[in-house]
A and B are shown apart, each in its own frame.
Chain A
């Protein structure tokens, strides 16, 4: 058996990295940052299915993330629903919402699609900000711990292992999806939508499916993030957050699950590193976004792999 296939080797490597990384964590701050990086990684693995594999952009995914977070917050705090029930229910509602809007939206192409998804994200942001009777408005709302089967997930360390396990699970699910007939159909959609349709791929159903899957990923991560953080504000639905998520995917490498993962980790760590030069943070972030896209339009991981291949094997 070849351990170095993307499927088994990569997954095993990821599991090893997650298990070994805490050796270098000297305090709970490291765990906290790592958990956030993994949250983003799960979200980006889902979003990458849509952007990288189906070739559809979404500038509104922070909206789905926020709906998951607020769904959990509202259901657990105001209606006493158990955390896991709130998570599932929120994800189901987000899934249905995504399903309903997906058909008309995914008919749109390129910039029109960007506009429509952006619009949905901004509308969700404004609703969360305005309906303060339910959401707490711009001041945000607090949540309790995530309890399940008599077990309470709390503390950065415990969250680390839970989210680490979920990340491996998310990557495994995505790898399976991509290697299935669905994945092949998606890649055909990305290559040429009309071409795919001509050879009998029901392109719109596949696009809807992957849109719903990525929205549900976002919602679940949103719910967990809300419990982990204990406090959420409407700004998690902001346009800027959506942009950040898309940037993670594109920076790491579109159509590469591990690329999206690496992009998520880098962009989560970046503000921590740049904290020392806080004033220049926005300029540096902007410059990195432009620079990577200009010099490595395929993203970090695919570009690095390509240059390694060239050096090693010679083309």
Chain B
């Protein structure tokens, strides 16, 4: 009984950590620009695919990982510069179409640059399962937990202790005021895309040994990340992390105890219920309208 529960919990925490990183990516871009970046999942895919194919081609993994991270960041920056920045003042719907267009474009490019096959990475430290109270834990899951925790800690430090991080936070609270006190708002926007792309790539790399990846892997991961961000309340970092873990654990429990076919539906059912009763997510601020 308990062993099974623990097993589901481990698997839920593993995917939850990835959703949390994706959710944070949504939150960072949303804060800086009020844009929902539907291409967030593609950053995850690029991180995983680039690393996997480089490693398969013989590049040592300690070189492939940073290269993949840089590649993903460059894509993020290019996307901000050429697709999002020129449409700054457009409607919400217009910008949604632009980022969805970008995601379709990136998937199309990935399918040409790489292929349609599934790719994998060797686990970072072996595949010997660790026995924990009757359940088994794959060492790679520990990597996922550890790296996600480190990334979250670094992000906290960046936003609360560094000048540029504080400038980014300031921009999210009040763009004009931030500009008035000398924050280079344009740089903040670029940085937000670079940072989100980096987060996505890290998530994609650590999870690839467990789930494999292909050119379409970003679709569901991106949508789950969006669910995590909305569940927690858009733009709320802690909310995105909690939201990601809730979605991951609920999914694992549902597929363990109810039906694995409905695993992917769970995230969206939770979201609908939460939004029906709390229209701004769990930790979101109540919005007010100015006429």
Contacts and interface: CB of A to CB of B under 8 A. Distances in A.
Interface residues of B, number: 49
A286 B268 contact: no
A306 interface: no
A311 to B, nearest CB: 24
The A interface, classified by DSSP as helix, strand, loop or mixed, is helix
Nearest to B87: A294
Given A123-B265, A194-B291, A294-B86, A289 B97 contact: yes
A283 B91 CA distance: 24
Nearest to B26: A111
Contacts, number: 143
Contacts of B265: 122-123, 126-127
Contacts of B40: none
B94 A290 contact: no
B193 interface: no
A250 B97 contact: yes
A104 B87 contact: no
A120 B272 contact: yes
B221 interface: no
B105 A123 contact: no
Interface in B235-291: 259, 261-262, 264-265, 268-269, 271-272, 275-276, 279-281, 287, 289, 291
Nearest to A288: B101
Contact of B90 (A280, A284, A293): A293
A28 interface: no
A11 interface: no
Nearest to B230: A115
Given A286-B103, A286-B104, A297-B90, A116 B97 contact: no
B276 A104 contact: yes
Interface string B98-128: 1011111111110110000000000000000
Interface in A29-54: 51
Interface string B64-85: 0000000000000000000100
A118 B223 contact: yes
A133 to B, nearest CB: 12
15 contacts: A110-B92, A111-B92, A112-B280, A114-B92, A115-B271, A116-B271, A119-B271, A126-B264, A126-B265, A194-B289, A194-B291, A286-B105, A294-B83, A297-B87, A297-B94
Given A123-B265, A286-B108, 12 more contacts: A104-B275, A111-B36, A115-B230, A115-B275, A119-B227, A119-B272, A123-B272, A250-B94, A281-B108, A283-B104, A289-B100, A297-B94
Interface of A: 51, 57, 59, 104-105, 107-112, 114-116, 118-120, 122-123, 126-127, 129-130, 192-195, 198, 239, 243, 246-247, 250-251, 254, 279-290, 293-294, 297
Interface of B: 30, 36, 83, 86-87, 90-98, 100-109, 111-112, 219, 223, 226-227, 230, 234, 259, 261-262, 264-265, 268-269, 271-272, 275-276, 279-281, 287, 289, 291
